[in-house]
Structure 1
Amino acid sequence: MSSLHPPLRALVLALTLCSLLALSACGTEPNGQGTTSVYADAQGPAVIGTDSSAESRVMAALYGELLTAAGVEVRTATTVYASPVDTARAVVEGEIGLAPAYESTLLRALPGGQTMPGDMAATLSMALPPGIVALPPAAAERGVVLAVTRATARRHGLSGLTDLGGTGGRLTLGGSASGDPDAPTAGTLKKAYGVTLTPADTSATADVLVLRGTDPVIARDHLVVLSDPDEVVPPEHVFPLAAAPYAGLAARKALARVNSELTTGQLAALTSSVAAGETPARAARNWLRSEGLLG
């Protein structure tokens, strides 16, 4: 290398260094001028993004509290994004360092993202661009569920979607999440489980309700969520989507603490509290302390 012209030698050294750092999260991010700049692990606070929903804001607050307690500097993005898809794109494009994401929603936003049955971690790993990491998910998920009232469950002996076959096609299907991309239709359920349901005229008249798993109405009305043994509805666990420099060992260990503790019901309760006016930071801090996850 000593025979190279000095400017060329400097360029080779720089490229070699970046190649070595790639194993420890060397990458690029926008510098505000339409170009990119090299970044490494020590590049300032982790900027956490969120969409406008109470659920996204409380998840971001949980991540922020855990990271701060682990000594990781964080700040909240000034931009509030329109949807989980937009926050995911913001992470991929380098606008923010970290955001709550959801499995199937994210895959739909990625070019050619396809689910590998039974191996969502591998699916996400292959679908995400280099330098973007899907950290392990929490137990909580906001996926679509089908639920009935306790009275309907008792009347027809319902605990799972397979039991709907014994209702003789007398029940109707509808609900607040019936228009979601992941929501099963009457035809989908017929094909998967051999059951017959009639689309309801309105959500208010539906016997079988199509809802998001974190919808507070499930707990409020003591609804029975029907099991889906054939996994007709794809998973939607919540997980941290991060740029590699913000997914170091300290961050991974801190964020992993919430995984086994946060259930769908608990996330629904946290979401309800924030929707009712409690600040995301306070709701997150109180829950983490109640679970012994924060001093």
Structure 2
Amino acid sequence: MIGTDGSAESRVVAAIYRELLTAAGQEVWTASATYASPADTAQAVVAGRIGIAPAYESALLRALPGGRTMPGDMEATLSMALPPGTVALPSSAAQRGVVLAVTKATAKRHTLRSLADLGSAGGRLTLGGDASGDPDAPSTSSLKQAYGVTLTAAGTSGRADVLALRSTDPAITRDGLVVLADPKSVVPPAHVFPLISSPAVDATGRAALARVNTPLTTGQLTALASLVNAGEAPGKAARTWLRSKGLLR
């Protein structure tokens, strides 16, 4: 059984997994209800209530006892954190994590390409945005500690100079925002990957799921989520996308 949280991103990724597994000859049932969050969905897989779900690295680690994001080999980190019988399959290129972005005008005015460049603004910039309350969003203090930059907190204000947004937020493309690089990895990674109960997906199914790892980028996930948010059924969006990539007949 495949489960998902209520976000458009997770729902369409779950539909992609379902289509690929079905095409590979696996029987797949979809859970009748959605979970409240990616962490709840991950806990359902660990508890054996469902067999597979889309998961995100940082959210999964928060859901596990003693789990925490560590630098280095994330695949090894997840492997050590997960209980026996639960497997994190290799992740796709797509992320649904937090990014910090600025307008093109702000980037040009202060020569901003990286979070480290924020110091050139001399403490005159504010930090806010829709995702500023997310558990993975950096605070003014964490940015100061990592990069030595001074920002003023502005809560969820969309008028802040530096915006904390989900990487799949359509405003990034729509408004031509500049996403700032994070060379010191202050923001933990949140790539999407299949979290499975080991017996639930055989080797053929795992190979089928791996086929989306490269083509499913953050940009592709953003576009798919936008379709679902606009009212398209996740299954239809998933099938159309998979066929466009030659992954489904």
Same topology, TM > 0.5:
yes
Deviation at 1:185, TM superposition (A): 0.7
- Offset from partner CA, 1:246-270 (integer Å, 9 cap, x none): 2321111000000011111110111
Which structure exhibits the higher relative contact order, with contacts defined as CA atoms closer than 8 Å and separated by 6 or more residues? 2
Is 1:268 matched up with 2:233?
no
Q: Secondary structure at the match of 2:3?
A: strand
1:172 is aligned to 2:172: no
- Of 68, 82, 94 in structure 2, the residue corresponding to residue 140 of structure 1 is 94
One-letter amino acid of the structure 2 residue matched with residue 268 of structure 1: T
| 1:253 maps to 2:207 | yes
**In 2 relative to 1, CA 71–231 (structure 1 residues): closer, same or farther, beyond 3 Å?**
same
Quick one: percent identity of the two aligned structures? 71
Q: Is the 8 A contact 2:100 2:163 kept in 1?
A: yes
Structure 2 unaligned spans of 5+: none
More strand by share: 1
Please state whether the residue corresponding to 2:32 is helix, strand or coil. Answer: strand
- Structure 1 ranges of 4+ moved more than 6 A: none
Q: Following TM superposition, by how much is the alpha carbon of 1:202 offset from its aligned partner in structure 2, in angstroms?
A: 5.1
Distance 2:10 2:97 in 1: 14
Change (3 A) 1:80 1:202: closer
1:131 and 2:85 are equivalent in the alignment: yes
Matched, 1:280 2:243: no
Match of 1:221 in 2: 175
The 3 A distance-change label for structure 1 pair 180 and 202 is closer
Calculate the TM-score normalised by the size of structure 1.
Answer: 0.82
Does the aligned pair in 2 maintain the 1:102–1:239 contact within 8 Å? yes
1:160 and 2:80 aligned: no
Aligned pair partner of 1:117 in 71, 82, 95: 71
Q: Partner of 2:53 in structure 1?
A: 99
Contact 1:61–1:281, Cα closer than 8 Å, also in 2? yes
Task: Map 1:65-84; keep pairs closer than 5 Å.
Answer: 65-84=19-38
Give the 3-state SS of the residue equivalent to 1:133 in structure 2: strand
Encode CA deviations 1:114-142: one digit per residue, 9 max, x unaligned: 33321111111111111111000000011
The structure with the larger Rg is: 1
Following the alignment from structure 1 to structure 2, what is the Cα–Cα distance between the partners of residues 146 and 55? 19
Is there any run of 5+ residues in structure 1 with no aligned partner, and where? Answer: 1-46
Alpha-carbon separation, structure 2, partners of 1:256 and 1:125: 17
Q: Find the aligned partners of 2:141 and 2:216 in 1 and give their Cα distance.
A: 33
* 1:201 CA drift (Å): 5.9
The letter for the 2-side match of 1:193 is: Y
Name the CA shift for 1:258/1:168 in 2 (closer, same or farther; >3 Å). same
| Distance apart, 1:98 and its partner CA | 0.4
SS in 1 for 2:2: strand
Give the secondary structure class of the aligned counterpart of 2:188: coil
How far the C-alpha of 1:219 sits from its partner, in A, is: 1.2
TM-score relative to the length of structure 2: 0.97
The offset of 1:225, in angstroms, is 0.4
Pairing 1:203–2:179 present: no
Q: Structure 2 CA distance, aligned partners of 1:287 and 1:159?
A: 32
Distance 1:66 1:101 in 2: 17
Q: Deviations over 1:76-110 (max 9, x none)?
A: 11121111111111111111110001111111111
Secondary structure at the counterpart of residue 100 of structure 1: strand
Aligned-partner SS, 2:213 = coil
Match of 1:231 among 185, 191, 204: 185
Task: Please state if 1:60 is matched with 2:14.
Answer: yes
Stretch moving more, 269-278 or 64-73:
64-73
Instruction: Figure out how many residues of one structure are paired with residues of the other and give that number.
Output: 249
Aligned counterparts of 2:46 and 2:152: Cα–Cα separation in 1: 41
